[in-house]
């Protein structure tokens, strides 16, 4: 569980992007919906510990991220994975890209292999394992980034527009994978414009408007009229 308590954040030279956000990303799937520029990406980055709030607190499984000592903070941050809307893929093969997060965490290649294979299989990437990642389409890159995130088995998974470039089949596949993770007790947050996806997969929805939580509750209730 990740809790934001009265979080404020301003980008350098920007207006206040978050103006006192309180929300909880629980086990299961939480969708963040709302207009462009309302603060969804900023909330995900704050929740992942990538941005530090100007005020307020971020609790990861009950521990205050920014008052933790550096070692504890690293441990907490590693329990959260954020997947960017237009993920970076690196030189090398799809398999190497999927293994990247595990390598960063110092997992030996031998040990990593099974997790990487499984993550690629879940996202239908097994056939592409030896392909050069740089040659992939935008949709395939998104799948690789998601596989890279799954390979490290995060307790908390934060996704920014995960289906933006996907065709129907892959969109369905991603929806299925996220539901499986949710059943396994992962807390998943998805910032999305995909209203149908939000309705289909989420347990809760939070409407963000102008740097604040405007509504939250069951997905059909929150998404009604949007
Ligand atoms: P959303 O994900 O809902 O589209 P964002 O969290 O990306 O919203 O943006 C929230 C606000 O912060 C917007 O007003 C946006 O213009 C501003 N913003 C986002 N990123 C930056 C940045 N790097 N520098 C300055 N302002 C930014």
Verify that 175 and 66 share a domain, yes or no. yes
**Shared domain check, 89 and 54:** no
Select from 99, 131, 153 the last residue of a domain.
153
Domain boundary among 153, 180, 202: 153
- Whether 61 and 12 map to the same domain: the answer is yes
| Angle subtended by helix axes 109-122 and 94-104, to nearest 10 | 130
Residue closest via CA to ligand 1's atom 10 equals 39
DSSP string spanning 6-28? EEEEE-TTS-EEEEEEEEEE-SE
39 lines ligand 1 (CB under 6 A): yes
The CA 225 to ligand 1 mean position distance, Å, reads 24
115 in the same domain as 95 = yes
In this structure, the number of other CB atoms found within 10 A of the CB of residue 218 comes to: 13
Q: Verify whether ligand 1 is closer than 6 Å to residue 40 (CB atom).
A: yes
Question: Range of 162's domain?
Answer: 1-79+154-226
Q: In this predicted structure, what is the pLDDT of residue 29?
A: 98
Q: How many domains does the chain have?
A: 2
- Does residue 37's CB lie within 6 angstroms of at least one atom of ligand 1? yes
134 and 95 housed in the same domain: yes
- CA of 45, closest atom in ligand 1: 6
CA nearest to 89, candidates 124, 134, 22, 55: 134
Kindly give the confidence (pLDDT) of every residue in the chain, 226 residues in length, as a single tens digit, with 9 standing for 90 and above.
Answer: 999 999 999 999 888 999 999 999 999 999 999 999 999 999 999 999 999 999 999 999 999 999 999 999 999 999 999 999 888 888 899 999 999 989 888 888 888 899 999 999 999 999 999 999 999 999 999 999 999 999 999 999 999 999 999 999 999 999 999 999 999 999 999 999 999 999 999 999 999 999 999 999 999 999 986 7
Residue 180 confidence (pLDDT) = 96
Beta bridge partners of 64: 59
The answer to whether residues 215 and 187 belong to one domain is: yes
Same domain (yes/no): 66, 5: yes
pLDDT, position 112 = 86
Which sign does the torsion angle of CA 21, 154, 123, 127 carry?
positive
With a 6 A CB cut-off, is 41 part of the ligand 1 pocket?
A: yes
SS3 214: strand
Which residue in this structure is represented by tokens 């347990």? 203
17 lines ligand 1 (CB under 6 A): yes
How far does the centroid of ligand 1 lie from the alpha carbon of residue 211, in Å? 9
38 CB less than 6 Å from ligand 1? yes
* 132 and 182 co-located in one domain: no
pLDDT at 169: 93
Domain co-membership, 75 together with 174:
yes
Nearest atom in ligand 1 to 13's CA:
25
Phi, psi angle pair for 114, to nearest 5°: -65, -45
Q: Residue length, the chain?
A: 226
Q: Are residues 68 and 168 in the same domain?
A: yes
Q: What is the CATH number of the domain that holds 164?
A: 3.40.50.300
Residue at which a domain ends, from 153, 172, 200: 153
Same domain, 169 and 199: yes
- What integer pLDDT is reported at residue 109 of this predicted model? 80
> Which pLDDT does position 4 carry in this prediction?
98
- Same-domain check for residues 10 and 119: no
């Amino acid at each position: 569980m990740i809790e934001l308590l009265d979080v404020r954040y301003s980008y350098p030279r920007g207006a206040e992007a978050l103006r006192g956000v309180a929300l909880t990303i629980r086990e299961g799937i939480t969708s963040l919906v709302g207009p462009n520029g309302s603060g969804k990406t900023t909330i995900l980055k704050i929740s992942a510990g990538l941005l530090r709030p100007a005020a307020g607190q971020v609790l990861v499984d009950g521990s205050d991220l920014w008052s933790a000592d550096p070692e504890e903070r690293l441990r907490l941050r590693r329990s959260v994975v954020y997947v960017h809307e237009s993920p970076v893929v690196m030189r090398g093969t799809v398999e190497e890209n999927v293994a990247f997060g595990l390598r960063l965490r110092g997992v030996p290649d031998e040990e990593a292999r099974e997790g990487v294979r499984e993550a690629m299989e879940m996202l239908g990437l097994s056939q592409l394992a030896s392909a050069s990642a740089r040659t992939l389409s935008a949709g395939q890159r998104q799948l690789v980034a998601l596989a890279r995130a799954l390979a490290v088995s995060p307790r908390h998974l934060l996704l920014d527009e995960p289906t933006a470039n996907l065709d129907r089949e892959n969109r369905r596949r991603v929806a299925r994978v996220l539901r499986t993770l949710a059943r396994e007790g992962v807390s998943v947050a998805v910032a999305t414009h995909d209203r149908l996806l939000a309705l289909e997969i989420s347990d809760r929805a939070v409407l963000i408007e102008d740097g604040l939580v405007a509504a939250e509750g069951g997905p059909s209730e929150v998404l009604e009229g949007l």
